[in-house]
Amino acid sequence: MVEQIDYVEFPSSDRAATSAFLSAAFGWGMISYGPDYDGFTGAGIDGGVDQSNDRVAATMAIVRTDNLDDAEARVTAAGGVITRAQFDFPGGRRFHFREPGGNEMAVWTQI
C-alpha cells in the first residue's frame, strides 16, 4: 500500500459547535463517538472533530499505513520527533509526530 493522507482531524474547544458548523456550512454528516469526538462524512476525505483534553493544537493530517512500526522507524530516521507514542483507538492504532518544519501529523493503521 502506498501511504497516503486519508484522514484529517480538527481540534475544537466546542465539538458540538464545530460539528454543527461543518454540517450547516458544507452539508457534512456527523457521527458521534462520545462526548469528545465526532467523525464527519461527505467531505471528500474522512475526518473528525476532537474536543479531548489531549487534542492537538492545530488541524492534523493523518497518514494510513499497513505497518505502524516500520512507519514510525522511517519517521524518526527522517528527522521526525514522536510527540505521542503509539496508542489504540476504536478501529486502529496510531502515533503522533512533529516533522522538522513544525507540523504535527499522525500515522495510523487499522487493527
Q: How much is the pLDDT for 2? A: 75
* CA distance linking residue 9 with residue 66, whole number of Å: 20
Greatest pairwise CA separation for the chain in angstroms = 43
Domains of the chain, by residue range, sit at 4-110
Q: How much is the pLDDT for 1? A: 59
Please, what CATH class does the domain formed by 4-110 belong to? alpha beta
Q: Which residues of the chain have pLDDT under 70?
A: 1
Q: How much is the pLDDT for 45? A: 96
pLDDT per position as a tens digit, 78-107: 999 999 999 999 899 999 999 999 999 999
* H helix intervals, the chain: 15-26, 68-77
Q: Which residues contact 91 (CB under 8 A, 6 or more apart)?
A: 110, 111
